[in-house]
Structure 1
Amino acid sequence: MLETVPDNRNYKDSVFVDLFSTDEKAKERFLSLYNALHGTQVHDVALLENIKLEQVMYMSFANDVSYLVENKIIVLAEHQSTINPNMPLRCLEYVSRLYEKLFESKEKYSRKLLTIPTPEFYVFYNGKEVYTREATLKLSHAFKEQTEQPNLELIVKVVNINRHNEHPLLELCKPINEYSIFVQTVRKWKELDPVYGFQKAIEECIANNILREYLERKTKEVINMLLAEYNYEEDIAVQRAEEREIAFAEGIEQGIEQGIEQGIEQGIEQGIEQGIEQGAHNKAVESARILKQLHSDTAMIMQVTGLSAEEIARL
């Protein structure tokens, strides 16, 4: 039998994971979410087995939840940034390890058919970028050769839980609805007060009866988890910015090479100049996109990047 994750974890949980996996009332919240997803009325927490693996989906930062319930393996993950198109591949690795731990090796060589729990994969998105209310990611989308009936498939359902999208799940599941409000409140206060924003967000949620019992009981722990989450998101943002810088440099180099080739007919100097100008424009666009995601006003973005208001609006 797969062991549950010990409390002395050496990695950091997100608030989402604590709410639905590790907190003392996590199983009750998970059952509410499970029932909302399946249209069921399961209430016995004894039917749940937490089978979360350590450091698989998100390296040193835990942002995933998995339970064994009613002959199903339910894997949940949360994204507060861009949806990763490689989630099906990551889920494949994750569920393979779960099956490996659920069954002894010798059972897999038995002449009797080994029945296994049915896996289901969900990603809950509440990032700032515009995203559809619901989407489906498939492992087969990544195959180099597309076929009508792939021999291996894994499907991940993406649900946008931002409140303005009004996904039905928010009406059916109180914990996920209140969590969505909590995230929205945290983001608001983090922008208004970078120093004490987390504390003020928690105070507002408690006053409005949003995750009240949980936040009153674990205020300090939640603040620490939020600090870890935002540090993690900033690290990811820095990595992506570095990737863009590399892409920009490569773009300039490619532009110069193309310019030189064009220069054979049009003049080498003109071709190189066009390549450099295109590379500079690409950098301005990427910088504007980052500033826009950070909710900088248009006038400031225009001043920093030199782009027009129309160009910024199209990003």
Structure 2
Amino acid sequence: MNTANRKYKDSVFVDLFSEDEKAKENFLSLYNALHGTNLPLSCPVENIRLDNVMYMNIVNDVSCLVDNKIIVLAEHQSTINENMPLRFLQYIARLYEKLQTPTDRYLRKLSKIPTPEFYVFYNGKEEYPETTTLKLSDAFMTKSDSQPLELTVKVFNINKNKGAELLTRCKPLEEYSLFVEEARIQTQLDSENGFTNAVKICIEKGILKDYLLRKSKEVINMLVAEYDYDTDIAVQRQESLMIGIEQGISQGAYQTKLETARLMKLKNFDIVVIKEISGLSELEIKNL
């Protein structure tokens, strides 16, 4: 698979199924597990990830063209985002723009396009079903018997304790799940050396052994980058929430001042007194 483009925020998931020297083998193993097929390693697989992942900036994505299909895979380590169908819609539109020549859409003859499929692999810590399906139409403000536009996303919980059947059919995904679980355990035991310890333990257990022996240092760096990124996102969300709360309190306080001044005007209080008690300006009071 093409490994020329390394602009993306690296992750172990993306590297395993899109960038590594054995990524094609891993990807085909996953594809066959999803479809019940047996595509050989000789089957053409083209990495078509976008150069700019503005729509997918909090998930790790893999996009490949194989068997006349566009397979879009995404890993989610935090709470599942129910807006994923919309984000995938924006993503696939840009992929089609990339794959087609500008004149194709104006041809009188039907221009065939690869069939898209969307999958999310969840390995976060919160409870989530083994499998579920998210639909774009769930976000529509009005419903109809026949929706004019639909996009479905199949979500798999790949935490080992959920016993997802898919893991038994795809060894690379199963071992990746075990690796994530070990990394989670070790970082809780030792926040400074947890990732390093997890890599060593997994090598000893034979989990992603070949991959980790070849790329242990790079894997540790990717894990650290992912951890820092997720922490940064969480902090930004918390800051946004606090700003919203503060703005709400401020707006509420202002409304209280207006109501106080309005009542005082109705009681014919002097405007100087109203200004002193409400804290409003003379113009604001006159405009009530």
TM bracket, shorter-chain basis: 0.7 to 0.9
- Amino acid in structure 2 at the alignment position of 1:93: Q
Structure 2 equivalent of residue 159 of structure 1: 156
- Amino acid in structure 1 at the alignment position of 2:181: Q
Unaligned runs of 5+ residues in structure 2 are 258-288
Distance in 2 (alpha carbons) for counterparts of 1:26 and 1:133: 25
Per-residue CA deviations over 1:35-87 (Å, capped at 9, x if unaligned) read 0100000123442111111232434x771001111111100000000111111
User: What SS is found at the alignment partner of 1:74?
Assistant: strand
Deviates more, 1:61-70 or 1:183-192: 61-70
Distance in 2 (alpha carbons) for counterparts of 1:146 and 1:172: 37
After superposition, where does 1:91-130 map in structure 2 within 5 Å?
Answer: 91-130=88-127
Deviation at 1:240, TM superposition (A): 2.0
User: What SS is found at the alignment partner of 1:122?
Assistant: strand
1:198 equivalenced with 2:195 (yes/no): yes
Whether the 8 Å contact between 2:71 and 2:116 is mirrored in structure 1 is: yes
Distance in 1 (alpha carbons) for counterparts of 2:7 and 2:102: 28
1:234 equivalenced with 2:231 (yes/no): yes
From the superposition, tell whether residues 199 and 149 of structure 1 become closer, same or farther in structure 2 (CA, over 3 Å). Answer: same
- Amino acid in structure 2 at the alignment position of 1:87: M
Structure 1 equivalent of residue 71 of structure 2: 74
**In the alignment, which of 151, 170, 174 is matched to residue 171 of structure 2?**
174
From the superposition, tell whether residues 66 and 8 of structure 1 become closer, same or farther in structure 2 (CA, over 3 Å). Answer: closer
Identity %: 59
After superposition, where does 1:210-229 map in structure 2 within 5 Å?
Answer: 210-229=207-226
Whether the 8 Å contact between 1:12 and 1:62 is mirrored in structure 2 is: no
| Superposition TM-score, scaled by structure 1 size | 0.76
Deviation at 1:108, TM superposition (A): 1.6
From the superposition, tell whether residues 33 and 8 of structure 1 become closer, same or farther in structure 2 (CA, over 3 Å). Answer: closer
Distance in 1 (alpha carbons) for counterparts of 2:245 and 2:31: 44
Deviation at 1:186, TM superposition (A): 0.5
Number of aligned positions between the proteins: 259
Structure 2 equivalent of residue 293 of structure 1: none
- Amino acid in structure 2 at the alignment position of 1:207: E
Deviation at 1:126, TM superposition (A): 0.3
Whether the 8 Å contact between 1:20 and 1:65 is mirrored in structure 2 is: yes
User: What SS is found at the alignment partner of 2:126?
Assistant: coil
User: What SS is found at the alignment partner of 2:72?
Assistant: strand
Per-residue CA deviations over 1:209-235 (Å, capped at 9, x if unaligned) read 000000000011101100110011101
Distance in 2 (alpha carbons) for counterparts of 1:142 and 1:65: 25
Deviation at 1:114, TM superposition (A): 1.1
Distance in 1 (alpha carbons) for counterparts of 2:2 and 2:41: 20
Deviation at 1:252, TM superposition (A): 5.1
Whether the 8 Å contact between 1:88 and 1:139 is mirrored in structure 2 is: yes
**In the alignment, which of 51, 56, 73 is matched to residue 54 of structure 1?**
51
Whether the 8 Å contact between 2:70 and 2:114 is mirrored in structure 1 is: yes
Q: Which has the larger radius of gyration?
A: 2
